[in-house]
Amino acid sequence: MERRYQDDCGYTVDAYFDLVRQGVLVEGDRVELLEGVIVAEPPMDPAHASAVDRVAETLRRVVAGQAAVREDKPLIIGGRSVPEPDVAIVPGRPQDYASRHPNAALLVVEVSDSSLPQDRLSKARIYAGAAIPEYWIVNLRAEALEIYRAPDPEQRMYTDRFTIGRGQHLTPVAFPDARVAVDDLLPWPPQV
């Protein structure tokens, strides 16, 4: 197998997809490429899966054909990252990605419990570095929505960060006419 690395910093996007083509990684493997490292994802528990469904359903209503909503699908970011966000709103229509994965997003959402540190640190840096205008973390532990906006790609960080909870609403940056209820994204009934 030809190894395509970038300065010995790990796998490139091409090398990662070579592993798929060779059958080393197969559909159903819960892995993603983050900054050159192939990272295993834990199996999805029912609360996580339900939240992903709720987020995707809510965002499909919000975008109403203005963009494509993808669940757990590759998003190519630069030469060394292929995260599979729980939900991503990407430009265009689903058929635009029949022969390629998107390399840009309008909004990325991660549903988080055990992955909370990685989502706040690694993934936030990756998404900010790619200039994705908005990133949400559905924090199942706190039953809250963490919002990250105003990316600084050079610093690989979001300069505007805040958290909102049940009973509150927000407007996605890319869809200024839309209004999203936090309750529509979180598990129901509230955990006690």
Its pTM stands at: 0.91
Residue type present at position 33: L
pLDDT score at 44: 86
Q: What is the dihedral of CA 106, 111, 114, 117, to 10 degrees?
A: 30
Q: Higher pLDDT residue, 33 or 8?
A: 33
E strands in the chain: 31-34, 37-40, 68-71, 87-90, 107-112, 134-139, 144-152, 157-165, 169-170, 180-181
Averaged over 122-135, what is the pLDDT? 97
CB neighbour list of residue 81: distance below 8 Å, 6 or more residues apart: 13, 33, 34, 35, 36, 126, 130
pLDDT score at 6: 47
Judge whether residue 2 has pLDDT over 50.
no
Judge whether residue 26 has pLDDT over 80.
yes
pLDDT score at 76: 97
pLDDT score at 5: 46
pLDDT score at 80: 94
State the Cα–Cα distance between residues 140 and 191, nearest whole angstrom. 9
Element (H, E) at 20: helix 13-21
Per cent of the chain over pLDDT 70 is 94
pLDDT score at 19: 93
Judge whether residue 1 has pLDDT over 50.
no
Q: What is the dihedral of CA 175, 179, 184, 190, to 10 degrees?
A: 130
CATH for 43-184 (3.40.50.720, 3.40.640.10, 3.10.560.10, 3.90.1570.10): 3.90.1570.10
Judge whether residue 111 has pLDDT over 70.
yes
